[in-house]
Structure 1
Amino acid sequence: MKNIIKLVVLVLLFTACDDMFDPALENNRGLDAMYNEPTYAQGILANAYILLPYSSAPQSDVATDDAVTNDNDNDYLAMATGSWTASTNPMSQWQGRRNAIQYINLFLANTDEVVWSKEEVINTMYNDRLKGEAYALRAVQMLALLKAHGGWTAGGELLGVPIVTEPETAESDFNLPRNTFQECINQIIADANTAMDLLPLDFGDISDGEIPSKYQSLGVTNAGDYNRVNGNHMRGRITGRIIEAVRAQAALLAASPAYNAGTTVSWEDAANFAADVLDRVGGPNGLATDGHTWYANISQIEGLASGVTPPEIIWRGDIGQNNDLETDNFPPSLYGNGRVNPTQNLVDAFPTVDGYPITDPASNYDPEDPYANRDPRLNDYIVVNGSTQGPNSEVIVTGIYADDKDGINQENGRSTRTGYYLRKLLRYDCNPNPEFDTEQKHYAARIRYTEIFLAYAEAANEAWGPTGNGGNSYSAYDVIKAIRERAGIGLENGDAYLESVKGDKDAMRELIRNERRIELCFENHRFWDLRRWNVANLNETARGIRIEDANGTYTLVDVESRNYADYMYYGPVPYGELQKWSNLEQNAGW
């Protein structure tokens, strides 16, 4: 894939330099050139990978109750505080996703004509795999579009986006109406199912006895031929396992409270699609023991071969050697800019180590010693006053009592606004100090197994209650118990709080949502979750803590008011598109 991307760049550079030649060259190549140039054909599909809708940075979290930013020019800050419009929308996916879908459709319309190999059976395997990737990538891109722009119109109809499955040309009708949300979900699931029929579950070298029967029937007897197409060197591309997870994500979205009145997707459907993914790793018993600290499992990260994923990860991005996240988010004393500041709202969501919410009298939570006996994930994910950070384990003081640049609102534009700094996603062994500028390996976790476990728990609880399983071998309760045990919660008391709510669907729902908030924090899930749940937290004021002295005088402070209107639970169709195309209908309120 890297080589293909390099080729695309070189072609673009060459095309940009046609004035070097006399007479000038026409460098606009026709699509038929791809038929005998497989690399050119793959370059078209490569654009759909380049345009994947994933980020390695916690961008949208600062527009939620989980975090704020100290960057006054941040687009998400502006969005959350009242400047979100159909013309100014940092959450928009319209252009990027539709561009990617155009490349995918171009590829699908021509791939059957490409000579991938002069050996017929090898040609078939190449074509199957690449078509499978294309259908899978179209489902990924469509799902991102639907999350960002699907919504209810003023007329009470739940609409998605225009479905386009053929390449658009100068003669195409671009004035297309939006399809219904249900039609878009149907398209995503259909593309996912087609992709699963064409793709291997995972890429990797196999032996002669492991050749899939469909290729054995075509005469493939040598595993080397199969490995040439689907072997280890293909790891990192989208697979059958990945697209199964995407299908589960789509079903969860459609079954959620914000959308389910306009779809036919049930909670049972969402739970069963998630179970398809989880059964492959043995259900809750397959939950990776160190999965909640995937970003900090240094020996594991350092040992990852090209395209290989650790047990927690279903799909990851490329590994990059840098300290960008640390430069952005370390405290000022460690040469960072302290950009993402976790809120007191999020800190309060972490239970005590025995599993009780801190608001429960049984928790023994001490407001005068608020970070003692807490969920271990609090220290894994957030730098609190007096904890350590950085390559030399420096103590970080966020209170105002010390003459220190890390205190709340101490260092102009770089210190925390909430009394907390980010730890999750960062490696302590990076050093942004210009004297050292130590970089380390990082990768983006595009889809984690924990996300799908939580999707199953949410859907199974709604479908069958906390302990029902609908014919699967595990329940919502089983999943949440495994996740909390992994985190070190309730080990001394048998997780008495979980036991107390396992007969109460509503209480279990709140616990599942809270576990999802904690486990997936700073991974760009919270904004979308609050909207699909249609809950009031979207407008919750972001709070922080002011620590007056070393003995711990704690004062809660309001840091940033949110200014979301009710209609903003559904994102807008871009205003510019509505100006161009009369058949597009806007979501209500925009």
Structure 2
Amino acid sequence: MNRIILFIGFLLTFSSCEKFTEPEPQNNGSFENIYTEPILAQGFLMNGYTRLPSNFWNFTDVATDDAVSNDVGNGFRRIATGQWASNFNPLDQWQNTRAGIQYLNLFLAEVDKVTFDTKDPILNRMFADRMKGEAYGVRAYFMFSLLQAHAGWVDGQLYGFPILTTPETPSSNFNIPRSTFEECMKQIYADLDKAEELLPLDYEDISSPSAIPTKYAGTNTETYNRVFGKLFKLLMTGRIAKAIRAKAALVAASPAFAAGNTTTWADAATYTAEVLNRNGGLSGIAPNGVTWYDNRAEIDALGSGANPREILWRNNISSNSDLELAHYPPSLNGQGRLNPTQNLVDAFPAINGYPISSPLSGFNAASQYANRDPRLARFILFNGGTAGPSSSVINTAADGTTLDALNRDATSTRTGYYMKKLLRQDVSRNPLSINNQKHYKPHIRYTEMYLAYAEAANEAYGPLGMSPNATYSAYDVIKAIRQRAGVGLSNNDAYLESIKGDKELMRALIRNERRLELCFEGFRFWDLRRWNAPLTETAKGVSITNNIHTIIDVEIRNYQDFMRFGPIPFDETLKFSTLKQNAGWQ
């Protein structure tokens, strides 16, 4: 009986208390909350930033003649050796960027309904303007990334991607055809126009009301700085929008795409000069820009979103040793993942500026690393070179006795070289005393912009000609870049002087300087494709035995000609009948 009474008591207790019998409402806000809680609306915009393709290193160099990987599962190694397909594409930008664009379109559709401040309508408008400008700029960057990865020819027409400027809903028509490359470029330019119209050149605190734009007349400096001040550095700005325009124009004017759109080399030179002029022209070239990744005091002192002189736009600083773990040689407790090729080593000139193929270079194959461009020892770890916090000597020879030796272990080099660039040499990966250091990933470096101008100006005006809005030529830029690197200082760069009247030889030199200055930063693969240059050059290395250097073939490149243009994802073409695949891909 006592058990029956107890059971009835439990029933009465639970039946009289609704919270035990009815599920709690989920703690989720409604979509409409974004209108009164600005931080929720801003989340759509921030989702775009977190998806930027340049947020992380991806080392597409492994798919080129510049590098191989000792990781058999590396996606870029697999595509370079014949496994690239529309249903296996490590270079895919379709899903990520399309998702980012959707979030930005949602934000742009709703931002004017958001209340950022209930009392000050000017402040409210400034916040809305700034964030709309950011969204347009980031959306343009996504569209540029889509073009670079997925543009291609179909039935004699150069196509880009489906242009979407409004958010898709469950009732939307998703079966939208790709727009032409020209239409995509026009949309990118239009978005960048809006970004520049709405954003300041840079985020800086002002001290005088005279610096407030007339459209915000009536506000004060404190309120203006609250929206457009220094606290917002690293976000999209007018300066960054100009640089994205220059990047997109350089691609559009290149041989692979030029026949399918109206952007010219002159346009690319003009847009890039607009960026460089705001950096002081030639005088803006950072003296320490070659070693931007290991300028330790400079990096350690960065704060509040400040940029080093070499950097136009970067991501946040993080304290880690991930790059060193992946790319230090095994003797320094690294995995040696990216192995530079002999092809790239041979691209570094002699210190007097002559290519090593020239008799005037003084190159000696028996001591091939002597009297070379100083960037070689800075960027590439070769046999007898030093690395790590103790400047350890690294032996990569085939008859070496450590795991650093050629093909000794799964983490050993396959080419006789390890990557040194991008790594801070004060990092220790000793398991007993791991020493993390500060790193950052650039989105855009000024050196990229200077080299882009040199390329476009040479094509449009010749080596000594200048864009109408510039006071410097392709020759001037390349001379300054090489002087900074320490090349040709003893002879006034006699090689450069000998070719400064020859457009084709200058083109080759500019492309080579781009190869060297931007190596391992993810440019080489896209450059070769936009230049219509060969992708099939065999990756070579060096085998050293008894101090005798023997050049070896390391990896055969297996690209077909149609692979100059990347595929549309296979599953997307299955789902949407109007989405035409690029020629050659299934």
Normalized against structure 1, the TM-score is what? Answer: 0.94
Structure 1 segment 1-400 matched on structure 2, within 5 A: 22-26=22-26, 29-118=29-118, 119-153=120-154, 155-209=155-209, 211-216=211-216, 218-220=217-219, 222-400=220-398
For the Cα contact (< 8 Å) 1:211–1:226, is it kept in 2?
no
Cα distance change on mapping 1:383 and 1:22 into 2, 3 Å: farther
Distance 1:24 1:399 in 2: 68
Stretch moving more, 564-573 or 49-58: 49-58
For the Cα contact (< 8 Å) 2:352–2:490, is it kept in 1?
yes
Cα deviation for residue 405 of structure 1 reads: 1.5
Per-residue CA distance 1:416-437 (angstroms, 9 max, x = gap):
0000001000001111111111
Cα deviation for residue 305 of structure 1 reads: 0.8
SS in 2 for 1:192: helix
Per-residue CA distance 1:188-220 (angstroms, 9 max, x = gap):
11101110010011112111245333245x212
- Can you give the 5+ residue segments of structure 1 that lack an aligned partner in the other structure? 1-18
SS in 2 for 1:315: strand
Distance 2:186 2:548 in 1: 55
For the Cα contact (< 8 Å) 1:68–1:340, is it kept in 2?
yes
Cα deviation for residue 557 of structure 1 reads: 0.3
- In the other structure, the counterpart of 2:580 is 585
| Structure 1 position 499 matched with structure 2 position 497 | yes
- In the other structure, the counterpart of 2:507 is 509
Per-residue CA distance 1:336-381 (angstroms, 9 max, x = gap):
0100000000000000011000001110101011000000000110
For the Cα contact (< 8 Å) 1:161–1:179, is it kept in 2?
yes
Per-residue CA distance 1:74-131 (angstroms, 9 max, x = gap):
1111111000000000000000000000000000001111111120111111111000
SS in 2 for 1:92: coil
Stretch moving more, 205-214 or 290-299: 205-214
Distance 1:384 1:561 in 2: 22
- In the other structure, the counterpart of 1:522 is 520
Distance 2:175 2:411 in 1: 47
Per-residue CA distance 1:304-347 (angstroms, 9 max, x = gap):
01211101000011111000000111111110010000000000
For the Cα contact (< 8 Å) 1:57–1:325, is it kept in 2?
no
For the Cα contact (< 8 Å) 1:56–1:445, is it kept in 2?
no
- In the other structure, the counterpart of 2:11 is none
Distance 1:106 1:248 in 2: 27
- In the other structure, the counterpart of 1:15 is none
Distance 2:186 2:446 in 1: 24
- In the other structure, the counterpart of 1:450 is 447
SS in 2 for 1:281: coil
For the Cα contact (< 8 Å) 1:400–1:548, is it kept in 2?
yes
Instruction: State percent identity of aligned pairs.
Output: 54
For the Cα contact (< 8 Å) 2:55–2:315, is it kept in 1?
no
Distance 1:32 1:107 in 2: 13
Distance 1:85 1:58 in 2: 19
Distance 2:346 2:21 in 1: 66
Q: Which structure would you say has the larger Rg?
A: 2
Cα deviation for residue 187 of structure 1 reads: 0.5
Distance 2:303 2:560 in 1: 47
SS in 2 for 1:129: helix
SS in 2 for 1:166: coil
Distance 1:170 1:450 in 2: 44
For the Cα contact (< 8 Å) 1:100–1:141, is it kept in 2?
yes
For the Cα contact (< 8 Å) 1:328–1:337, is it kept in 2?
yes
| Structure 1 position 563 matched with structure 2 position 558 | yes
Q: CA RMSD in A?
A: 1.4
For the Cα contact (< 8 Å) 1:58–1:522, is it kept in 2?
no
From 430, 443, 454, the counterpart of 1:433: 430
For the Cα contact (< 8 Å) 2:273–2:467, is it kept in 1?
no
Cα distance change on mapping 1:22 and 1:434 into 2, 3 Å: farther
Matched letter for residue 150 of structure 2:
H
The count of residues paired between Structure 1 and Structure 2 equals 565
For the Cα contact (< 8 Å) 2:348–2:373, is it kept in 1?
yes
Distance 1:39 1:56 in 2: 25
Matched letter for residue 574 of structure 1:
P
Distance 1:512 1:423 in 2: 23
Cα distance change on mapping 1:22 and 1:343 into 2, 3 Å: farther
Matched letter for residue 475 of structure 1:
S
SS in 2 for 1:368: helix
Distance 2:406 2:56 in 1: 26
SS in 1 for 2:53: coil
Distance 1:584 1:29 in 2: 37
- In the other structure, the counterpart of 2:416 is 419
Distance 1:413 1:576 in 2: 35
Cα distance change on mapping 1:179 and 1:273 into 2, 3 Å: same
SS in 2 for 1:54: helix
Distance 2:425 2:474 in 1: 34
Per-residue CA distance 1:544-573 (angstroms, 9 max, x = gap):
001112xx3100000000101100000000
Distance 1:35 1:395 in 2: 61
Distance 2:200 2:560 in 1: 45
SS in 2 for 1:559: strand
- In the other structure, the counterpart of 1:553 is 548
- In the other structure, the counterpart of 2:13 is none
Per-residue CA distance 1:487-511 (angstroms, 9 max, x = gap):
0111110000000111000000000
- In the other structure, the counterpart of 1:8 is none
Normalized against structure 2, the TM-score is what? Answer: 0.95
From 532, 541, 544, the counterpart of 1:544: 541
SS in 2 for 1:558: strand
Cα deviation for residue 232 of structure 1 reads: 1.6
Distance 1:424 1:58 in 2: 14
Distance 2:50 2:89 in 1: 21
SS in 1 for 2:543: strand
| Structure 1 position 576 matched with structure 2 position 577 | no
Stretch moving more, 296-305 or 399-408: 399-408
Distance 1:534 1:111 in 2: 43
SS in 1 for 2:365: coil
Matched letter for residue 488 of structure 1:
G
Cα distance change on mapping 1:21 and 1:588 into 2, 3 Å: farther
For the Cα contact (< 8 Å) 1:313–1:445, is it kept in 2?
yes
